[in-house]
Amino acid sequence: MSRLDAKVSPYLFVAPFFVLFGAIGLFPLLYTAYVSLFDWEVGADDPTFIGLENYRTLFDDGQFWNALFNTFSIFVLSSAPQIVIAVAIAALLNENLRARTGWRMGVLLPYVASLVALTIIFGNLFGPQYGLVNDVLTAVGIGPIDWQADTFGSHVAIASMVNWRWTGYNALIVLAAMQAIPREVHEAALVDGASPLRRFFSITLPMLKPTLIFVIVTSTIGGLQIFTEPKLFEPSGGSGGGTEHQYQTVVLYLYQSAFQGLDLGYASAIAWVLFLIVIAVAGINFLVTRRAVR
C-alpha cells in the first residue's frame, strides 16, 4: 500500500496542472489545428474538409502580410525602447534614493491600471481632430498628425500604450536581478578604478543576462499577440484596424475573420501560423540575447 502510495501520489500531486493544461491549453491548440483544415463557417451544418487550402489562401492574402508587418512594426516600436528604458530605470532605482519604495511602487502603477481604461484614454489623447497630443504638437509648431490615417503614426500611438503599461513592470524585474548581483564584484572593480559606466556595461549588464532573456522572450510573446490596444484604438469599434488596415495586427485579423467573417477555419489557420511565428521569433531572440550579452 505504502509503496503504491509513494509511486503514485507524486503524479497525483502534479496531475491538476497537467489535467488543466490539457483541457484548456493543449486541447484547444490541437483542435484549432484540426479546424484549420476545414471550410468551417460559424453555423454551418457540415464543414467540408479542404486540407491545407486555408494555409494556401493565407499565404496569398495581402491583408495577412500587412497584418504581420503591422504586428512586427508595433512590436519593435514597443519592445526595443521599452527594454532599454526599463534597464535604465532599474539602474536609477538601484541607486540610493530617498523614499525608495515609493519610487519603486510608482513605476508599477501603469501596470495596475485597467488595460481597457488605459487604451480608451490613450485613444482620446491620440484623437486626430480633438486629441490633446495634436493640440500640443500644433502649439509647438509641428502640426497635427492623423494618428488614425497614417500607418507609422498609428503604430507609434499604439506602441506608446504598450510602453506606458509594461516599462515599469519590466523595470522592477530587472531591478530585482540587479540587486542579486554580488556586491564584491562591484567593489573589486571599484578598487581597479573602473568608472560607473564601465561597471554598468562590464558587470551589471552581463550578470543580468538570464533576466534579460526572460524579459525579452515574454515581451516577444506578448507583443506579437497584441490585440486589445489596436482593437480599441479603432474609433468606430470595428476590427479592421483602421480604414485601410493601417494598424490591423495578426490577432485582430484573426478576430475579424472568426467573429465578423464567421470563417472559423481560416481564423484557425491564422492562429496556427501566428503560433509558429511566435515560437520562431522567441527562439531567435533567445539565441541572439544569449550571444550578445556576454
Partner 1 sequence: MRHRWVSVLICAAVSAAATTACGSGGASQSSDGKTELTIATFNEFGYEELFKEYEAAHPDVKITQRKTGQGQPHHQNLFTKLGAGSGLADIEGVEEGYLSQVMSKAGQFNDLNEIGPKLEAGRWLQWKTDAITTKDGKLIGYGTDIGPLAMCYRKDLFAQAGLPSDPEGVKALFATWDSYFAAGDQFIAKVPGVAWFDSAAQVFNAMHNQHETGYYDKSDKLVVDTNPDIKADWTAVTTAVGKGQSARLAAFSNEWNTGFKLGKFATKTCPSWMLGVVESQAGPENKGKWAVTDAFPNGGGNWGGSYLSVPKQSKNAKKAAELAAWLTAPEQQIKAFKAKGTFPSQVKALDAPELLEQTNAYFGDVKAGALFATQAKKVKAAQYKGPADGQIQETVFSPALQSVEQGKNAEEAWKTAVEGAQKAAK
Using CB under 8 A as the binding rule, whether residue 160 contacts partner 1 is answered as no
Q: How far is the CB of 39 from partner 1 (least distance, A)?
A: 11
In the complex, minimum distance from the CB of residue 248 to partner 1, in angstroms, rounded to a whole number: 10
Select the residue interacting with partner 1 from 123, 168, 223, 265 (CB under 8 A).
Answer: 123
Terminal-residue alpha carbon distance, the chain: 52
Amino acid at residue number 127:
G
Provide the pairing of β-strand 38-39 with 48-49. Answer: antiparallel
> Which helix H or strand E contains 48, and what residues bound it?
strand 48-49
47 or 222: whose CB is closer to partner 1?
47
Instruction: Pick between residue 50 and residue 262 the one whose CB is nearest to partner 1.
Output: 262
Q: Give how many residues touch partner 1 by CB under 8 A.
A: 28
Can residue 130 be called a binding residue for partner 1 (CB under 8 A)? yes
Site for partner 1 in 95-114 (CB under 8 A): none
* Amino acid letter for position 191: V
User: With binding defined as CB under 8 A, does residue 282 bind partner 1?
Assistant: no
Q: How far is the CB of 127 from partner 1 (least distance, A)?
A: 5
Picking from 16, 7, 40, the residue whose alpha carbon sits closest to that of residue 268 is: 40
Backbone φ/ψ region at 97: left (φ over 0), alpha (ψ -120 to 50), beta: beta
Phi, psi values for residue 261, rounded to 5°? -80, -15
Find the shortest distance in angstroms from Cβ 37 to partner 1.
18
The three grid cell numbers given for residue 122, joined into one nine-digit string: 490613450
256 touches partner 1 (CB under 8 A): yes
Q: State which of residues 32, 199, 261, 281 lies at the interface with partner 1 (CB under 8 A).
A: 261
223 lines the binding site for partner 1 (CB under 8 A): no
Residue 34 makes contact with partner 1 by CB under 8 A: no
Instruction: Rounding to the nearest 10 degrees, give the CA dihedral for residues 87, 93, 94, 100.
Output: -160
What is the spatial distance between Cα 208 and Cα 275, in angstroms, rounded to a whole number? 28
Instruction: Summarize as ranges the residues that interact with partner 1 (CB under 8 A).
Output: 42-44, 120, 123-124, 127-131, 146, 148-149, 235-240, 242-244, 256, 259-262
